[in-house]
Structure 1
Amino acid sequence: MNLNELKGKYDAVFSLGDLCLASIQLKKHNLRPFSGVLDWMASPSLSDVNRLLTNRFVGFMDYDNLRIIGYAGPEMICVSDDGYQFVSNHDFGSDKNSLQYLGSYHEVRAKYDRRIKRFLKTMSSAKRILFVRTEGSFEEALELQTVLSKLVKRDFRVLLINHNSVEGIVEKNWPLEKVCAVEFPNKDKWEGNHHLWEQVLSGIQLSK
């Protein structure tokens, strides 16, 4: 799938990680009307995301799987979900949590339960969904396409952006029906590629 085939209207757009970058760009381009499950999580392995979707989030953020890593800045506690190898940097404030105790766990868990419920409901009700992911191999993208084909009731597309030593946007033209894979420059990917995100997301809109 190429970039031109990605354009059009979608009922929902979700970030699938790997960091906050995709959700930040979606919000900037008015394509993120509500929070997704993985918006503010670090999910370095797309294979683990595929496993999470296959399991329909069963076991996600279960208390027994959580491990406190340390401070994520002065106001947040960094916590790992060792069951899926995800890391939360934005959920556990240091006002209610410490390096020994997660005092706001039930609040955080309730928030994610709401997001999971909305996500799964959208999978079955939306006519067309776009998923955006940064970082992933061809094999992982193929697996993601297979997983989403079973999860999404109707139509979907995936925009996969890898960061490498390239100039501008490089379309990969992978032989995947539902996945558009491109490469962006890996130099200053947080602030240096705003114009490339704008170019890629141009022509993508949320249905009213």
Structure 2
Amino acid sequence: MKREELMGTYDAIFSLGDLCLTSIQLKKHQLRPYSGVMDWVATPELSKLNMLLRNRFDNLMKFEHLRIVGPAGPDMICVSDDYYHFVSNHDFGTDKNSLTHIGSYPEVMEKYNRRINRFLGKMRTAKRILFVRTEGSLEDVTELQQVLRDLVKNDFSILVINHENVNGIVEKNWPLSNVYSVAFPNVDKWEGNHHLWSEILRGIKLEQ
């Protein structure tokens, strides 16, 4: 799709990972009024995320799939759902969890179930949805497009940003009807591309 087709007003916008970077930028640009399922986790394998969406989040973070990875900063424990390769750095605080014990599992799952229900509800009711994903191959994004066609009732678009050895914004011109794909520089992607995010999100609005 062309850039001008991506622009306009949406009544729902969701991050699809692969890191917190996407949700941080959406919030910075007033495009994220609530937390989504993939906002504060790592989903490095888009193929696994496609499976998760195809399964309507069934068995996400099922207890027997969880593995304690290690510390995530001074007061958080990193926990991985190895079935979906869904890695949490921000859910399991050291007040109730340790490197040998997950104590806040019920509260964490209550939060995720709330976010899942909101997400699935928007898939049914929103008239126009934007999904934003960093990192994904043409093959995996083609699969994502089909998964979302089965999930979303009305219109949707996908913005894909891959970080590569480029200068500025480079359009990829993928042959996918509702996908706008670009490359950003891969040097200091957390702090060095703020102006590029502002440019790519210019003209995109969220209906209040």
Deviation at 1:2, TM superposition (A): 2.2
Give secondary structure in 1 for the equivalent of 2:118.
helix
Quote how far apart the aligned CAs of 1:3 are.
Answer: 1.8
CA distance in 1, matches of 2:8, 2:153: 19
Alpha-carbon distance in structure 2 between the residues aligned to 1:74 and 1:109: 23
How far did 1:149 drift?
Answer: 0.4
TM-score by length of structure 2 reads 0.99
Deviations 1:14-44 (A, max 9, x none): 0000000000000000000000000011000
| Residue aligned with 2:78, SS | strand
Aligned positions of 1:63-78 closer than 5 A? 63-78=63-78
* Distance (whole Å) between structure 2 residues aligned to residue 100 and residue 186 of structure 1: 36
Match of 2:166 in 1: 166
Instruction: Give 1:13 deviation, angstroms.
Output: 0.4
| Structure 2 residue 126 is the aligned partner of structure 1 residue 126 | yes
CA RMSD across the alignment: 0.5
TM-score (norm 1): 0.99
1:10–1:129: 8 Å Cα contact kept in structure 2? yes
Which ranges of structure 2 fall in alignment gaps of 5 or more residues? none
Amino acid paired to 1:63: F
Give the aligned partner of residue 50 of structure 2. 50
Residues in 2 aligned to 1:187 and 1:3: alpha-carbon distance in whole angstroms: 24
8 A contact 1:59–1:83 mirrored in 2: no
Q: Give structure 1 regions of 4+ aligned residues with deviation exceeding 4 angstroms.
A: none
How many residue pairs end up in the alignment?
Answer: 208
Q: Which residue of 1 aligns with 2:92?
A: 92
Equivalences for 1:25-64 in 2 at 5 Å? 25-64=25-64
Q: Aligned AA for 1:52? A: L
What is the rounded CA distance, in whole Å, between the counterparts of 1:168 and 1:36 in structure 2?
28
Alpha carbons 1:48, 1:84 under 8 Å: kept: yes
Per-residue CA distance 1:111-142 (angstroms, 9 max, x = gap) = 00000000000000000000000000000110
State the AA in 2 paired with 1:114: R
Q: Is residue 23 of structure 1 aligned with residue 23 of structure 2?
A: yes
Question: Displacement, 1:4?
Answer: 1.7
| 1:180 corresponds to | 180
Superposed displacement of residue 104, structure 1: 0.5
Q: Deviations over 1:38-61 (max 9, x none)?
A: 001100011111000000000101
Counterpart in the other structure of 1:112: 112
Q: Supply the distance in 2 between the matched residues of 1:103 and 1:171 (Cα, whole angstroms).
A: 46
2: CA distance between counterparts of 1:165 and 1:70? Answer: 31
State the one-letter code of the partner of 2:169: I
- CA–CA distance in structure 2, aligned partners of residues 15 and 3 of structure 1: 19
Q: What is the CA–CA distance in structure 1 between the aligned matches of 2:8 and 2:53, rounded to whole Å?
A: 25
Could you tell me the percent identity over the aligned residues? 67
